[in-house]
A = this chain, B = another copy of it.
Amino acid sequence: MDQTDRPDSQDLIPEDKPASQSGRRTFLQRSSAGLAAALATGAAGTAWAAGPPAAAANSVKLPLIADPRTEQKEETPDANLPPDDRIGYAIVGLGHLALDQILPALSNCKYSRVAALVSGDRNKALKIAHQYGVREADIYDYQSFERLADNSRVQVVYIVLPNGMHKEFTLRAAKIGKHVLCEKPMATSVADCQAMIDACSKNNRKLMVAYRSQYEPMDRMIAKMAKENKLGPLREFIAGNSQNQSGPSQWRLNKALAGGGALPDIGLYALNAARFFSGEEPYEVSASLTQPAADPRFKEVEESVHFIMRFPSGFTATCMASYGCHESRFFRLQGTDGWAEMDPAFGYNGLRMRYGMLVDGKSANTEITIDPNNQFAREIDHMSLCVINDKIPHTPGEEGLQDQRIMEAIYESARTARVVKISKPQASTRGPDPEEETF
């Protein structure tokens, strides 16, 4: 800020501004030099390394303003794809997440747009469609889901249903030739996860699990610090993810629909983050569950889970998740030479990151300010770019399957009061890093 109301010079009416005219010339000369320099050094984070050529050709890039001290704030936005060229999504399930987060996020996307709604409540769907400019013809119900096959405006089905229904709709979507973006947790059993992977593979459709944090820039910066050994060898990860879960009639407290309680819903963030940051897979886990008999919310699922995951290098993750506490979400990733944390972590907004290490022999904590923008938009646009560029998503079905395997080991450990071993996945569970232009 405040590079506010700053039209570039071309917008000024030449006749009125002879003085600024000559000023403009100098400006443009310097600017283009600055732009070239920035591109040469890679300083401009917005260069189109691998983006869609059509979009690149159409993008308007304001010349970088030349003072190097402010240059970083002068980045111009990546070009949006024209609305009609964007990847179209059918949103399946119009609950809170879809209404409060995903539909608004689609307005922030560059490569994605809402193209259809699938809901069991036509009345509600009509109203939502009206608000978001979706045509009545693009509303479906669960029975008529397969009619999406004929809707060429829809390339991706975004499944925002209860966990227990993810498998069914992934299979149905793959069968009618649609790519699938599926909310986390991927499903409620290893078998279902495998079936989902197989169905998309057989139909040659992309399958991505919506691990939002892996697309969030602070999380990504921490992963990068870890990879570049900025924290020294990683030794410990400690995380807590807690909220007061509403209930008791919430589907999240219904075991058949949710697959479990705090673990698959919010504990999964800690579990996945430990794997993401370390790049390792755990070989054993010990865990306990709390399920208070007196609380009507926890008739079927756990209130809280506590687990210790051990990794081959000696790195260990000590995690907790609870449906029974005032909101608290954080993690700290610890290496021999420093730590990085997010607090709040995992949430939709208000995230913060800092790291601690020695600076000139003194204990220093540094907070980096990154505008997180809309995490959902980044995630959805990544899926769209995978479709556009025919790439494997960064968080494909294999990533969700591996987490499901670990969650089943956690439940087994809690049930048997013993450490439980976890076998290694046969291959990496992640696709290539998200394209920078998503960011």
Given the complex of chains A and B, what is the CA–CA distance between A60 and B130 in angstroms?
A: 11
A195 at the interface (CB under 8 A from B): no
For residue A358, which residues in chain B have a CB less than 8 angstroms away from its CB?
Answer: 72, 326
| Assembled-state Cα–Cα distance A419/B82 (Å) | 55
A247 at the interface (CB under 8 A from B): yes
Q: Interface range on chain A: under 10, 10 to 19, 20 to 34, or 35 or more?
A: 35 or more
- Interface flag for A427 (CB, 8 Å): no
Whether, in the assembled complex, A334 has its beta carbon less than 8 Å from a beta carbon of chain B, the answer is yes
Q: Interface segment, A119-127, A200-208, A388-396, A397-405?
A: A119-127
Indicate if the CB atoms of A326 and B257 lie closer than 8 Å.
no
Contact of A95 among B6, B79, B96, B303 (CB under 8 A): B6
> Would A244 and B70 be within 8 Å (CB), given that A236-B304, A370-B362 are in contact?
yes
A contacts with B: majority SS: mixed
Question: Which among A66, A84, A163, A269 has the highest number of chain B CB atoms within 10 Å?
Answer: A66
CA distance A246 to B74 in the complex (A): 9
Contact mask A23-65 → B, CB, 8 Å, 1/0? 1101100100000000000010000000000000011101001
* Copies of this polypeptide in the complex: 4
- The answer to whether A76 and B100 touch across the interface, beta carbons within 8 angstroms, is yes
Q: A80-106 toward B: CB 8 Å interface, digit per residue (1/0)?
A: 111110000000011111111100100
Chain B residues positioned under 8 Å from A177 (CB to CB): none
**A189, B252: Cα distance in complex, Å:** 46
Given contacts A11-B121, A76-B100, contact A69 B336 (CB under 8 A): yes
Chain B residues in 8 Å Cβ range of A244 = 67, 69-70, 336
> Which residues from B are CB-within-8-Å of A62?
95-96, 99
Known: A3-B96, A10-B124, A23-B249. 5 other contacts (CB 8 A): A1-B347, A7-B98, A11-B120, A30-B249, A70-B244
A231–B338 CA distance with the chains assembled, in angstroms: 25
B350 and A7: CB pair below 8 A? no
- Pick the interface stretch among A149-157, A271-279, A312-320: A312-320
Complex Cα gap A332–B163 (Å) = 30
Interface centre among A3, A104, A337, A358 (most CB of B within 10 A): A3
In the bound complex, how far is the Cα of B22 from the Cα of A348, in angstroms? Answer: 31
Contact B235 A304 (CB under 8 A): yes
Q: Is A406 an interface residue when CB atoms closer than 8 A count as contact? A: no
A176 lies within 8 A of chain B by Cβ: no
Q: Which residues of B are found within 8 Å of A99, using beta-carbon distances?
A: 60, 62, 76-77
A27 CB contacts on chain B under 8 angstroms: 249-250
A266 and B416 alpha carbons, distance in the complex (Å): 30
**Distance in angstroms between the alpha carbons of A6 and B251 in the assembled complex:** 8
Docked complex Cα distance between A24 and B322 (Å): 24
Contact indicator B329/A1 (Cβ below 8 Å) = yes
Taking a contact as CB atoms closer than 8 A, the residue among B14, B20, B69, B73 that contacts A257 in the complex is B20
Residues of B within 8 A of A254 (CB): 19-20, 23
